[in-house]
Amino acid sequence: MTNPARRAYLAARLAHKKLLGVTITVSRGLNTSATLVATVGSSGSVSYESDGTQIFAKNRDYLIEATSYVINGVQVEPARFDVITEVINGVPRTFEVLDANGDGSSTSTDSGVTVFRVHTKEV
């Protein structure tokens, strides 16, 4: 059973994927997922040099439904060193899943853990 707020969240997520979704594949070792649709976000981290200079690193995040994160026929959680491939402007680009800011390789965007925010960097 769902409440009105949950239904509104699911409707917004569906609309977001239809409007801004990108097609990706996920690989873990030699095993590759089927193509799936995700949306793109970003996150970052700040570090400081000894002279007080601030360095900001921006990461590309993918919002992926937990039920879609399937590798070799098995639903799994994102893991460090998984590889996400996306075609951007006709060119395949590769992103590696990483541990961002001590959050692990992904965080959940909702309390039901139905959508992963997967942190990546381009390799």
Given a cut of 60, is residue 1 above it in pLDDT?
A: no
This prediction has a pTM of 0.81
Is residue 8 included in any domain, yes or no? no
* Count of the separate structural domains present in the chain: 1
Q: Which residue has the tokens 């996400």?
A: 84
Per-residue pLDDT tens over the stretch 65-89: 999 999 989 999 999 999 999 999 9
Is residue 11 included in any domain, yes or no? no
Residues counted in the chain: 123
* Residue 72 CB partners (closer than 8 Å, separation 6+): 28, 31
Tokens of 118: 């997967």
Is residue 72 included in any domain, yes or no? yes
Q: Is 62 exposed, middle or buried (0-12, 13-18, 19+ CB in 10 A)?
A: buried
Is residue 53 included in any domain, yes or no? yes
Is residue 56 included in any domain, yes or no? yes
**Helices (H), ranges, the chain:** 4-20
Helix (H), strand (E) at residue 87: strand 83-88
Is residue 16 included in any domain, yes or no? no
3-state DSSP assignment of residue 94: strand
Per-residue pLDDT tens over the stretch 12-71: 888 888 888 999 999 999 998 889 999 998 877 777 888 988 887 778 999 999 999 999
Is residue 10 included in any domain, yes or no? no
* Best CA proximity match to 5, nearest among 110, 113, 106: 110
29-33, 97-101, 102-106, range with greatest mean pLDDT = 29-33
Helix (H), strand (E) at residue 71: strand 70-71
Is residue 88 included in any domain, yes or no? yes
Given a cut of 60, is residue 118 above it in pLDDT?
A: yes
The whole domain housing 95 covers: 22-122
Residue-level pLDDT at 42 = 84
